[in-house]
Amino acid sequence: MALRLLSRRTLGSRILSYRASLHSHATSFGFQQVKEEEKSKLVGNVFTNVASSYDIMNDVMSAGLHRLWKERLVGKLSPFAGMKHLDVAGGTGDVAFRIFDAVNSVKRRALRKVDEASLEETQIYVCDINPNMLNVGKQRAADRGLRDNKSLVWVEGDAEALSFDDNSMDGYTIAFGIRNVTHIEKALAEAYRVLKRGGRFLCLELSHVDIPVFKELYDLYSFQVIPNLGELIAGDRDSYQYLVESVRRFPPQERFAKMIGDAGFEKVEYENLVGGVVAIHSAIKL
């Protein structure tokens, strides 16, 4: 009798603590636990600090590989002329520029029969919550001579509460941004909302490595090398410590794929690059 009472109590407390962790108003900021309201502010600070050296740090940390990953992402998207595309958390415009080039490249236009009218209609929206990152992006656009190009539209906005209409986008990409969002489910729900029927969701994100020896090497690199690089190049060790911690806290590939499915998407797939260091999740809204 006493034993049964004891087991019921432990079971009950286990259930309570499980529910508590589901509905808690604390979330993770790297390995710290912080209040939800604070997370977006803290993330905002991180990106305000790193905005100017974001691109250089990306190149150094990934040894230039991030370019290949983004190429792969855009390749998977298969952009077409006249598409309305939304790139969320795409502040400095890496993905957006690649999509723009893919649609407008002369070679592509020569090979395929594209009518000029649909080329005009192409709209690529770059949405970012951090105005500093957007400014860096706008500057890069100006450097490429695209300052006044109507196809690229820079919008300040929150991934969890997009200002776009329902069923208005052909494509939605989020590259290295979704782990910074406080409520991933909300971001996924918003993605589902703004996509048209047949629209595609693509997410490029640092993910989990399972391969035995490689995992240890990767952890070593992440925790020993990257924060030091951050200090050296960007002058900000803490932001990069946050970065590597947030990668570990992000759900693994399978669980994230399930979350995408829960948001209503179909044909959820993921592709691991470099053994799982990066994963591209893709899905369709039907």
Q: How far apart are CA 238 and CA 223, in angstroms?
A: 12
Taking CB under 8 A as the rule, which mask of x and - marks residues 137-176 in contact with another protein? Answer: ---------------------------------xx-----
Of 87 and 158, the one with the shorter C-beta distance to another protein is: 87
Neighbours of 34 (CB within 10 A): 15
Residues 220 to 259 in contact with another protein, rule: CB under 8 A: 253-254, 257-258
Of 44 and 82, the one with the shorter C-beta distance to another protein is: 82
Question: Binding of another protein at residue 260 (CB under 8 A)?
Answer: yes
- In the complex, minimum distance from the CB of residue 190 to another protein, in angstroms, rounded to a whole number: 17
Exposure of 206 in the CB half-sphere (CA atoms within 13 A): 20
Q: How far apart are CA 144 and CA 122, in angstroms?
A: 18
Which candidate, 126, 79, 137, places its Cα nearest to that of 105? 79
Of 79 and 91, the one with the shorter C-beta distance to another protein is: 79
With contacts defined by CB under 8 A, name the span among 35-43, 129-137, 182-190, 194-202 that binds another protein.
Answer: 194-202
Q: How far apart are CA 101 and CA 39, in angstroms?
A: 35
- In the complex, minimum distance from the CB of residue 172 to another protein, in angstroms, rounded to a whole number: 9
Phi, psi angle pair for 147, to nearest 5°: -55, -45
DSSP letters, 55-96, are HHHHHHHTTTHHHHHHHHHHHHH---TT-EEEEET-TT-HHH
Q: How many residues bind another protein (CB under 8 A)?
A: 42
Binding-site ranges for another protein (CB under 8 A) = 76-80, 83, 112-114, 170-171, 195-200, 210-211, 214, 253-254, 257-258, 260-262, 264, 266-276, 282, 284, 286
Binding residues for S-adenosyl-L-methionine: 92, 128, 158-159
